[in-house]
Every structure is written in structure tokens, then in C-alpha cells.
């Protein structure tokens, strides 16, 4: 089955993306990305529930859910380095006498996901844009098998291709005209993104895919628009304040053009 090479998500990748060493090693909650907090609030799990963090990466969302809400958590990722990092961070917290008896991490490819049962919710934060349709179709069928007697929920955060196709090009052009970026930088950025962002989507497109598998959308919402989040999305270009302010105005008025979105589906 076609997939993004899991070796791209190695230790260097996670240290580059989460470059705050204290946050990376010790789970500094004030530095946790707001997306995780917002995602959890869409479906706060109960201590009696068993949930999955699908594509758990370095474990930020898993740890946040475990320490904030205390459900049983199973973090799954196909990157070996990701799971090693998760377990290293778990050891750091255990050494601080933090109770993490209800959290575990497993390294599994989408072709060999574990057989689970009585899962109440699956959290997929920034995962689907990294998966081809064939993979998504396969895992959705498996998710349905994980359901217990009650319905199972799928809570998603993913990039919005409406922003990437219509807003970011305008911001890039403005940055070029004003000399705040270069063709070389933008070309390099786009090449790197295309290696891993193989299936960008938007709310309507994702909802159609989910509907074909029997998942019904309960919630569709967008991250709160702040200059901080826009700066994170723009990366180095955020040094140009006019870009940040322009994006803030556009996204405050036209929320459907937000860089990303949340959706909650139920089966």
C-alpha cells in the first residue's frame, strides 16, 4: 500500500519541529500547541473511556489527554523513532512520579494495526494530510471494528487546502514583492511539504469521504484566529508584520479560509 516513507519522521524531524528542548523532553504544558487543547475540548474523554491517539508523533496529545482527562490512551504511530521518543518522554515523567499507568504506545503500520475493542474515540491530529486515500479507506474500516456497544467518535484536525490554494499564494506574492522572501525559499518549502502532505483536503471534501464510510459529521469548526497562530503557520515569513496582519483580517472575516479545521465524526 502506497504511503509516505515513515523514515522521514525520524528523531531529527521531531527535534526540528519541536525545537524547544525543554518542551520536547519534559512535556512543558504551557508550550503545548493550542491545537491539542482545542481538539480535546471537542470531545473531552472520561476516565472510564479508552481512546486512541492515531498518528501520535512525539506523544504531545497523548500525554495531554492522559494527564488532563485520565482515560486509557493507546498512542499509535508508524514511525519507530516517534514511539521511541514517546517512551523516553514517558520515562522522564515516571521519574517525576507522574502516574501514567493508563497510557501506552505502539509502533504499527497502517497495514497491521492492532485489533482493539471498546474504543470510544479516536483522535487524529494532523494525520490525514499525510495519508493517501487508499490508506484512509483502510483505516476507517478498521476504526469501525474498534467500536464497542456505543458509537465511536473520530476527532480530526487537518490542514485546509482552501487556505493553501487561495490565501497563502497571495501572502507569498506580497512577501516576494516586498523582498521579505525569495523564490528559492518558497520553492524549497513547497518541495519539502509535498514529500509529506500528499492528501490535502477541506471540510466538504473530507465530509464526503467520511460519509461514504458511514461517519456522520457532528461538529465542524475552525481554530480561533490569533496573530500567534498565523505567525506559526507562516513560519519565517511571520517576520513581515504586514503579512500577519493581512492574514488576520482575511481569516477573521472568511473563517472557511482558515489554515486548518476541526471536525468530529461519529459512527
The DSSP call for residue 97 is: T
pLDDT of residue 255: 87
What would the pLDDT profile of 133-145 be if each residue is shown by its tens digit?
999 999 999 999 9
pTM: 0.88
Quote the CA–CA distance of 57 and 16 in Å, as a whole number. Answer: 13
Quick one: cell of 116?
482493539
Quote the CA–CA distance of 175 and 131 in Å, as a whole number. Answer: 30
Quote the CA–CA distance of 209 and 204 in Å, as a whole number. Answer: 9
| Residues near 89 by beta carbon (within 8 Å), at least 6 away in sequence | 25, 26, 27, 58, 59, 63
What would the pLDDT profile of 71-93 be if each residue is shown by its tens digit?
999 999 999 999 999 999 899 88
pLDDT of residue 75: 98
Question: Is pLDDT of 33 > 70?
Answer: no
The DSSP call for residue 266 is: E
| Residues near 48 by beta carbon (within 8 Å), at least 6 away in sequence | 71
| Secondary structure of residue 10 in the 3-state scheme | coil
Going from the C-alpha of 52 to that of each of 25, 59, 76, 114, 193, the distances in angstroms are 22, 12, 7, 11, 26
Amino acid at each position: 500500500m502506497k504511503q509516505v516513507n515513515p523514515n522521514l519522521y525520524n528523531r531529527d524531524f521531531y527535534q526540528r519541529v519541536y525545537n524547544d528542548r525543554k518542551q520536547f523532553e519534559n512535556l512543558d504544558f504551557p508550550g503545548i500547541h493550542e491545537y491539542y487543547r482545542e481538539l480535546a475540548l471537542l470531545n473531552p474523554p472520561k476516565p472510564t473511556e479508552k481512546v486512541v491517539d492515531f498518528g501520535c508523533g512525539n506523544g504531545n496529545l497523548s500525554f495531554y489527554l492522559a494527564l488532563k482527562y485520565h482515560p486509557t490512551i493507546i498512542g499509535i504511530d508508524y514511525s519507530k523513532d516517534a514511539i521511541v521518543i514517546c517512551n523516553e518522554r514517558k520515562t522522564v515523567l515516571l521519574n517525576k512520579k507522574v502516574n501514567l499507568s493508563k497510557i501506552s504506545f505502539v509502533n504499527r503500520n497502517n497495514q497491521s494495526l492492532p485489533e482493539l475493542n471498546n474504543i470510544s474515540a479516536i483522535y487524529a491530529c494532523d494525520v490525514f494530510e499525510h495519508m493517501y486515500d487508499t490508506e484512509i479507506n483502510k483505516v476507517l474500516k478498521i476504526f469501525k471494528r474498534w467500536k464497542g456497544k456505543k458509537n465511536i467518535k473520530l476527532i480530526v484536525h487537518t490542514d485546509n487546502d482552501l487556505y493553501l490554494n487561495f490565501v497563502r499564494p497571495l501572502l507569498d506574492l506580497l512577501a516576494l514583492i516586498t523582498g521579505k522572501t525569495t523564490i528559492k525559499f518558497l520553492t524549497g518549502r513547497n518541495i519539502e511539504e509535498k514529500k509529506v502532505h500528499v492528501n490535502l483536503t477541506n471540510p466538504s471534501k473530507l465530509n464526503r469521504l467520511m460519509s461514504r464510510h458511514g461517519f456522520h459529521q457532528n461538529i465542524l469548526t475552525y481554530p480561533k484566529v490569533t496573530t500567534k497562530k498565523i505567525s506559526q503557520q507562516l513560519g519565517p515569513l511571520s517576520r513581515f508584520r504586514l503579512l500577519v496582519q493581512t492574514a488576520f483580517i482575511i481569516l477573521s472575516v472568511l473563517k472557511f479560509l482558515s489554515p486548518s479545521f476541526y471536525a468530529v465524526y461519529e459512527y
